[in-house]
Amino acid sequence: MELNPQQRRAAEFDDADVLVLAGAGTGKTSTIVARVAHLVRRDVDPRRILLLTFTRRAAREMRHRLGRQIGADVAKRVPTGTFHHFCLQSLRRWPEWFHCASLTIIDRDDQLQLMKLARAAVIGKDPTFPKSGELANYYSFARNTNRPLKEYLDEFTSHEPDCVARIEAVLKDYGARKQQCKYFDYDDILHLFARQLHRDPVVRQKLQRRYDHLLVDEMQDTNPLQWLILDGLREPAKLFCVGDDAQSIYAFRGADFQNVHAFTERVPGASVLKLEHNYRSTQEILDLSNWLLEQSPLKYDKRLTATRGSGSKPVRVEVDDDFEEADWITRDLMQRHEGDDPWRDHMILTRSAWAARGVEASLIEHEIPYRFIGGTQLLQSAHVKDLLSLLRVIHNPSDQLAWMRYLTQWPRIGEKTAATTINQLLTLTEPAQREDLLSKRFSNQPRLAESITECVAVWASVPDVIATAADKLTPLLERKYDDWDRRQKDFKLLKRLAKKHATVADFLETYTLDPISESEASNDDQDDAVTLITVHSAKGTEAPVCYLIGVQPGNYPHVRSIGDEQKEEEERRVLYVAMTRAKNELILTGTVRSRGAFVPHHNRSFQGGSGQPFFLSSMPDNLCATDLDFETDFSDGPILSFRRP
Ligand SMILES: Nc1ncnc2c1ncn2[C@@H]1O[C@H](COP(=O)(O)OP(=O)(O)OP(=O)(O)O)[C@@H](O)[C@H]1O
């Protein structure tokens, strides 16, 4: 692929720090990859180029593309990964710099468990007090935006001072519990790294000396904490950041627009370059996407033009309910497949895994191979967590949540017995002492201690550890879960994933940091499959044919965001990101029911009957074809069937 002059200028820009503002599909991934290749050809040591991406998937894709340009061996030497991955690796590599000898990364579920304990201890029973999920969000948001908790609570919540003080007390207790169990939640990783980087000049100097170039993808979705990390690492290293303000969809996690908008103020002398030619989509798809942005009160100053020229108009398909929507899509997919289109050319985009359950069921029913990215997370399933609890207690004997899960899954061990046992376990320092305690205390359950001993014996081989754990726990779990036949296949997936990891710690951490979905794991090596994907996971992806489901009032903008201008605006960008994934065909499906209100068939105009705002309600007719423009077939199944023009 030949770079265009704008892309080449960016890739080879050697004068200063640079921000590349790149619209959707304008080749930013291609440009970043070309930049790394350019630097390597200019004799920069690949190990001194740090490439930070938003997801593990994006990192894999970059490494793959880079391999094609400079050879896989050289590409492997370029440190490439997410901010979390990079920071965690640094903490592990130089624990003395960060004062963190051993740590266990906990996921959102564990975080909530721990928060529940803290809330119960400090507040007791008070249904009016914020729930654990809300408290965890406050905690995370304050840290990602790098604000003191009180300042954040005062500014962004409407709680009374007394309540703010109680929230602070719960979060303090949560912090103490974390420390006691040697837990690190997701945000601690960045926080600790950034804190040391800025507090300790020696650490800062050592880290700064390691890199000559910092390349950052999806700059618009970085948060203030991530900016602090970049700011601490730059100089003499040069920044090369690529972003698109119209694709910023992570404000809910603390992403900060200013990292793009205020770039030149923060990095004196930096240049801003633009990529404006879209290579992905046909002009009709871009016309609709451009129109959507133009409706915003924010000035995005963005009009994408298609280098590919004209194609077919996006299509709106209006359905009565989720079933009809699912049916319509599977039939359309099958029709296309019969016409020799491979499954992999099709992507179905959804707001959430929950919203896609109808479509997923229909794909299964019709035996259409699919991969769900962003769907049910493999490591979150109860039976998988049961198995992982065994690995976790060996990896970190202070891991109280894992002990609780591990012990209480055995018959006749309740939370009380488990809690007293855990208290005793925490006082012991040697593995043999713990195993001894467990085998004596639970002599009627010999497998409980045996499982630990046998896993420890094969600890050096991750696949063997998983196989042993699965073997020991299966008789137990078989009895616990009614649908064991369905569940046990996940253990096979775990064994397959295990092969990719050198240590159990790495295995546990990788998927806690960037969870993998059940179907993603099972269809990892299946080449020809439809992609079902949440819009938030879809950044950086594309497909010739994209179905965007649930395009209806109540979803765009989402009911929860209505009335909050910033959130509504983010919702617009979510829809924009979704639309701009399509290369040749974009199909928007949605129901005409909204909050129980039904719009009569002849009145269907995608506006819903409830008066809820809807981004497409004033869409000019010429931007989309509707399914009603095509032949209607009442003979079988769904009311509307669609024939491609
Ligand atoms: N110079 C070029 N010539 C031909 N095709 C190109 C060129 N640059 C990019 N492309 C193609 O355009 C498509 C989009 O490129 P890429 O994925 O790099 O875009 P992006 O800017 O990262 O997109 P987004 O931000 O929307 O995810 C890809 O299929 C890529 O191969």
What totals of helices (H) and strands (E) does the chain contain, helices first? 28, 19
Cα 25 to ligand 1 centroid, rounded to whole Å: 5
Question: What is the best residue among 1, 4, 30 to mutate for testing ligand 1's pocket, by most ligand atoms within 8 Å of CB?
Answer: 30
Mean pLDDT along residues 618-645: 56
Last residue of a domain, one of 181, 212, 246: 181
* Distance of alpha carbon 108 from alpha carbon 96, whole angstroms: 27
Per-chain mean pLDDT for the chain? 84
pLDDT of residue 591: 83
- Closest-CA residue, ligand 1 atom 13, reads 280
Mean pLDDT along residues 602-630: 67
For residue 515, whether the previous peptide bond is cis, meaning omega lies within 30 degrees of 0, is: no
pLDDT of residue 638: 35
Q: Which two tokens stand for residue 362?
A: 């229909």
pLDDT of residue 380: 66
- Closest-CA residue, ligand 1 atom 29, reads 280
Same domain? For 456 and 530 the reply is no
pTM of this structure = 0.75
* Distance of alpha carbon 80 from alpha carbon 93, whole angstroms: 16
Q: Evaluate if residue 156 carries a pLDDT over 80.
A: no
Coil/strand/helix, residue 383: helix
Q: Read off the pLDDT of residues 129-143 as tens digits, 9 standing for 90 and up.
A: 998 888 998 998 888
DSSP state letter for 514: S
Q: Which domain holds residue 614?
A: 286-376+525-626
Residues contributing to the annotated binding site for ATP: 22-29
Within a domain: residue 342? yes
Residue with the two structure tokens 């703010």:
164
pLDDT of residue 518: 52
| Segment holding 81, helix H or strand E | strand 80-82
The CATH code of the domain that includes 615 is 3.40.50.300
Q: Evaluate if residue 81 carries a pLDDT over 80.
A: yes
Q: Read off the pLDDT of residues 237-291 as tens digits, 9 standing for 90 and up.
A: 999 999 887 776 666 666 677 777 778 888 988 999 989 899 999 999 999 999 9
Q: Read off the pLDDT of residues 192-215 as tens digits, 9 standing for 90 and up.
A: 899 999 989 999 999 999 999 999
pLDDT of residue 387: 92
Cα 30 to ligand 1 centroid, rounded to whole Å: 6
Given a contact cutoff of 8 angstroms between Cβ atoms, the answer to whether 462 and 498 are in contact is yes
Q: Read off the pLDDT of residues 421-431 as tens digits, 9 standing for 90 and up.
A: 998 998 998 88
pLDDT band at 587 (very low <50, low <70, confident <90, very high): very high
* Distance of alpha carbon 26 from alpha carbon 22, whole angstroms: 6
Q: Evaluate if residue 542 carries a pLDDT over 80.
A: yes
Same domain? For 89 and 109 the reply is no
DSSP state letter for 22: E
Within a domain: residue 636? no
- List, in sequence order, every beta strand (DSSP E) within 269-356: 271-275, 277-278, 305-306, 315-319, 346-350
Last residue of a domain, one of 454, 484, 516: 516
Please give the residue that has the higher pLDDT: either 640 or 607: 607
pLDDT of residue 596: 36
Cα 67 to ligand 1 centroid, rounded to whole Å: 17
- DSSP string over 475-498: HHHHHH-TTHHHHHHHHHHHHHHH
Same domain? For 206 and 262 the reply is yes
- DSSP string over 241-292: EEE-GGG---GGGT--THHHHTHHHHSTT-EEEEE-EE-SS-HHHHHHHHHH
pLDDT of residue 379: 64
Q: Read off the pLDDT of residues 318-362 as tens digits, 9 standing for 90 and up.
A: 898 888 899 999 999 999 999 889 999 999 999 887 788 788 888
Nearest alpha-carbon partner for 582 in 280, 181, 164, 226: 280
Work out which ligand 1 atom sits closest to the CA atom of 581.
26
Same domain? For 386 and 372 the reply is no
Q: Evaluate if residue 188 carries a pLDDT over 90.
A: no
* Distance of alpha carbon 286 from alpha carbon 580, whole angstroms: 7
pLDDT of residue 220: 85
Same domain? For 478 and 618 the reply is no
Same domain? For 414 and 434 the reply is yes
Within a domain: residue 631? no
pLDDT of residue 317: 92
Please give the residue that has the higher pLDDT: either 627 or 127: 127
Same domain? For 531 and 616 the reply is yes
pLDDT of residue 391: 93
pLDDT of residue 470: 93
Same domain? For 78 and 124 the reply is no
Q: Evaluate if residue 594 carries a pLDDT over 50.
A: no
- Closest-CA residue, ligand 1 atom 16, reads 27
Same domain? For 563 and 491 the reply is no
pLDDT band at 516 (very low <50, low <70, confident <90, very high): low
Within a domain: residue 166? yes
Same domain? For 76 and 142 the reply is no
For residue 557, whether the previous peptide bond is cis, meaning omega lies within 30 degrees of 0, is: yes
pLDDT of residue 530: 94
Count of domains observed in the chain: 4
pLDDT of residue 375: 60
pLDDT of residue 598: 33
Cα 143 to ligand 1 centroid, rounded to whole Å: 34
- The residues that bridge with 278 in the sheet, in sequence order, are 306
Same domain? For 258 and 313 the reply is no
Q: Spell 300-324 as b/e; 16+ CB within 10 A means b.
A: bebebebebeebebbbbbbbbebeb
- DSSP string over 554-605: BBTTBGGGTT-HHHHHHHHHHHHHHHTTEEEEEEEEEESEETTEE--GGG--
Mean pLDDT along residues 220-232: 89
High-pLDDT (> 70) share of the chain, %: 89
Q: Read off the pLDDT of residues 396-420 as tens digits, 9 standing for 90 and up.
A: 898 888 898 899 899 888 888 888 8
pLDDT band at 524 (very low <50, low <70, confident <90, very high): low
pLDDT of residue 515: 56
- Closest-CA residue, ligand 1 atom 8, reads 27
- Closest-CA residue, ligand 1 atom 15, reads 27
Q: What is the ipTM of this complex?
A: 0.95
Within a domain: residue 645? no
Same domain? For 553 and 485 the reply is no
Within a domain: residue 644? no
Question: What is the best residue among 4, 29, 577 to mutate for testing ligand 1's pocket, by most ligand atoms within 8 Å of CB?
Answer: 29
- Closest-CA residue, ligand 1 atom 11, reads 279
pLDDT band at 511 (very low <50, low <70, confident <90, very high): low
Please give the residue that has the higher pLDDT: either 106 or 548: 548
pLDDT of residue 54: 82
User: 93-107, 239-253, 606-620 — which is least confidently predicted?
Assistant: 606-620
Work out which ligand 1 atom sits closest to the CA atom of 580.
26
Cα 286 to ligand 1 centroid, rounded to whole Å: 14
Last residue of a domain, one of 145, 163, 181: 181
Q: Evaluate if residue 443 carries a pLDDT over 60.
A: yes
Within a domain: residue 638? no
Cα 360 to ligand 1 centroid, rounded to whole Å: 29
Within a domain: residue 492? yes
pLDDT of residue 523: 54
Q: Read off the pLDDT of residues 479-508 as tens digits, 9 standing for 90 and up.
A: 888 778 777 777 877 887 788 788 888 888
Ligand 1: residues with CB < 6 A are 1-4, 7, 22, 24-30, 244, 279-280, 539-540, 542, 580
